[in-house]
Amino acid sequence: MLLPETKDIDVDLLNFSLENICNMRMAVAMRALCIKIAYQLCKREPELLKELQAVVSMLDLKDEQAAIKSVVKKVIKIIL
């Protein structure tokens, strides 16, 4: 999954993604996709990666589904 390469970050999409990462009422697949989209948007602006890391670190991984755990581990590994 690739987002189109543009110079400007889609702020609305980034906000939606960051807000729904921790939303337990969303489907697991949607939350995992939100993490991926947020990472792709944040990697264009390195200072946003710290915000993504903060949001993802709020998740309690022992209570999460395998899809969320996998995506979080991959994103954290890339960020660090």
pLDDT tens sequence across 57-76: 888 888 889 999 999 999 99
Higher pLDDT, residue 3 or 14: 14
Q: Where are the alpha helices (H) located in 1-80, listed in sequence order? A: 11-20, 28-42, 46-57, 66-79
Within 10 angstroms of residue 67's Cβ, the number of other Cβ atoms is 15
pLDDT score for 46? 83
Query: Looking at the predicted structure, is the pLDDT value of residue 34 above 90?
Result: yes
Q: Which two structure tokens, joined as six digits, stand for 74? A: 């991959």
Quick one: pLDDT band at residue 43, thresholds 50, 70, 90? confident
